[in-house]
Structure 1
Amino acid sequence: MTIKILAFGITRDILGGSSLEMQIPGNTRVADLRATLYAQYPALQKLSTLAIALNTEYASDEELIGEKDEVVLIPPVSGG
């Protein structure tokens, strides 16, 4: 299945754009997607944290990604 991944902050720079379409097999967990992204974009591993949200909510590594899910990469955030 094809999913669209939205990227913000430093993840946008690492991926080279604000979104990315990726082919993944059915029954892909968030942890599987994270491993695939780390393999294709090693600079992502250097981030202190990288949260992944599905449909506007933070996702656990065990959650399955559906074909119509909105996937968002959330890099470390700081501010005051």
Structure 2
Amino acid sequence: MISEEKRQVLDFFAQGRRFYKLMQFEDAKKLFARALEVDPEDGPSKVYYARCKHYIDNPPPEDWDGVFVMKTK
């Protein structure tokens, strides 16, 4: 059975992904931050939080397909 803590993280992450796909990066970042408040070690939330920060500073083109392209290794 899934713990209540993990369920919260999954819910925040799923909501964040919806905003992320809609290019609403500020809202998405807030939800990923909430997931990280519950579980600071949640890897997917860390990745998407960082991507949101990147896209807030460097918005993708309007025809963005949701794929993150790494610029550095």
TM-score by length of 1: 0.30
Name the structure where helix makes up a greater proportion of residues: 2
Name the structure where strand makes up a greater proportion of residues: 1
Q: Which has the higher contact order (CA 8 A, sep 6+)?
A: 1
TM-score by length of 2: 0.31
